[in-house]
Amino acid sequence: MNEDALKRLMQRQRPSVPPRTDELEPNPVVVKSGQPVVSSHETPGYTDAGVSTGVDVNMSTQHDETDLPQLVRTTTRLEEHIDKSLRHLCMDEKVTKEVWFEAAYLYLVEHPKAMKAVNGLAKQRYQRRKRAADLRKLETMQKRLKG
């Protein structure tokens, strides 16, 4: 990048936004249309528009942080036909693949015999994938050596 352009970017002023106020009742609004502005206390058709419901807005949007799960982002590689079948299953059940994996793991933790069977199958599939990766690597090396 040109050094002059870099200096201009570094010195560029960012737009500033005035700080907002956390008020329940906004300041009076000026309308240019000429129609009168009706305040929330004078809304026609509503008898309790000015009555507070007693709900604290700040409390209703806050959650106890210990209740929220800590999530991590991962990448999952699946065989094409398994991914397609699992995606259809999850759409039918209205869950995500990640949540389905979590539930399956939690179920297997509670059922050690099923966990042992799944782990055995996983080891077989891992060896199969490892052999496939080695074959792809050899094919790539052959292509590079030939041409």
Q: pLDDT tens for residues 33-44?
A: 555 555 544 444
pLDDT of residue 32: 56
List the one residue out of 96, 73, 71 whose CA is nearest residue 86: 96
Q: Which helix (H) or strand (E) holds 121?
A: helix 112-146
pLDDT of residue 29: 56
User: Which of 17-21, 87-91, 100-104 has the least mean pLDDT?
Assistant: 17-21
For the entire predicted model, the pTM comes to: 0.51
* Alpha carbons 66 and 106: distance in angstroms, whole number: 20
